[in-house]
Amino acid sequence: MPQNSSKNHSSNQQLDVTGPTPKSPRTKMVRSSDDNEKKNLVKKLKDIEISVPIVYGNIAFWLGKKASEYQSHKWTVYVRGATNEDLSVVVKRVVFQLHSSFNNPMRVVESPPFELSESGWGEFEIAITLHFHSDVSEKPLHLYHHLKLYPEDDSGSLSVKKPVVVESYDEVVFAEPSEGLFARVQNHPAVIVPRLPAGFSLPPVPAEDADKRKRIDPKDNPLTQWFTNFSEADELLKLAAARQQVQAQIARVRRQLSLIDGQHQQQLKPPSEL
């Protein structure tokens, strides 16, 4: 399956191992070995992309008896790894921009879990900005999520126990990551990393302490029980079935076309006989 998408990238698999096109050979010789190493870490891996599957959305609980006119729901908006993994390996901080009627509508969350809880009564669009570490990307990425408090069916009774959950799945793609970044994240569960072509070696990167990484275990989050499990298998099956149908129809139409062409060929014969 990944092979199909590589059709979209150029078919050139050559990796520029000698480094980026040297613009000033003079300065290159002056650089010490330290600089060379740093350059290698910064060098981009072409035709390689790493992706981080994320899920973002909100969970809203109706407050029931404790609900007032202005605080009827308690909601949490969040960005999480698709399998509840720790996103801080690539994400430095997340900024949630709330409706202007909130105090300090720009909320910054510096550490995982990247979530924000508030209470209110209204549904509005929240602008979520993901800021990445400097070796990942300079530019932030924007997501938009419409906060949902009330269940879809209007007649549905509001229940205190069962929250309204709306989540969206997406994947953040980092095209041409730097070598340093690749080495850093290749063993992290939150990141999908493709296999490197054979004969390619990465510079050694100090291995992250596995204990340190699990310091904030996302599985301790009480909201975890409400998260939806996104599986691609379902969609893949449906897509494969649809493609088969379409291909069958294409074959049928092609057959019909060739039939007609055959008929025309036959009609051509009689005039020449005359």
**Footprint of other proteins (CB under 8 A):** 1-2, 4-5, 8-12, 16, 20-21, 44, 46-47, 51, 53, 132, 136-137, 139, 141, 143, 169-176, 192, 230-232, 234-236, 238-240, 242-243, 245-247, 249-250, 253-254, 256-257, 260-261, 263-265, 267-268, 270-271, 274
- Tokens standing for residue 55: 């899920």
Residue 155 CB, nearest distance to other proteins (Å)? 26
Q: Among candidates 227, 121, 107, 117, which has minimal Cα distance to 167?
A: 227
Residue 185 CB, nearest distance to other proteins (Å)? 14
Instruction: Return the number of the residue (34 or 261) whose C-beta is nearest other proteins.
Output: 261
Q: Judge whether 172 and 91 are in contact, CB under 8 Å.
A: no
- Burial bucket for residue 215 (CB in 10 Å: 0-12, 13-18, 19+): exposed
Q: How far apart are CA 88 and CA 114, in angstroms?
A: 9
Q: Judge whether 87 and 231 are in contact, CB under 8 Å.
A: no
From the CB of residue 63, how many other CB atoms can be counted at a distance below 10 Å? 16
Instruction: Return the number of the residue (35 or 171) whose C-beta is nearest other proteins.
Output: 171
Instruction: Return the number of the residue (187 or 245) whose C-beta is nearest other proteins.
Output: 245
Instruction: Return the number of the residue (62 or 114) whose C-beta is nearest other proteins.
Output: 114
| 29 contacts: CB under 8 Å, gap ≥ 6 | none
Residue 131 CB, nearest distance to other proteins (Å)? 11
Instruction: Return the number of the residue (95 or 136) whose C-beta is nearest other proteins.
Output: 136
Residue 184 CB, nearest distance to other proteins (Å)? 16
Q: Among candidates 142, 133, 54, which has minimal Cα distance to 93?
A: 133
Residue 251 CB, nearest distance to other proteins (Å)? 10
Residue 102 CB, nearest distance to other proteins (Å)? 18
Q: How far apart are CA 212 and CA 215, in angstroms?
A: 5
Instruction: Return the number of the residue (106 or 259) whose C-beta is nearest other proteins.
Output: 259
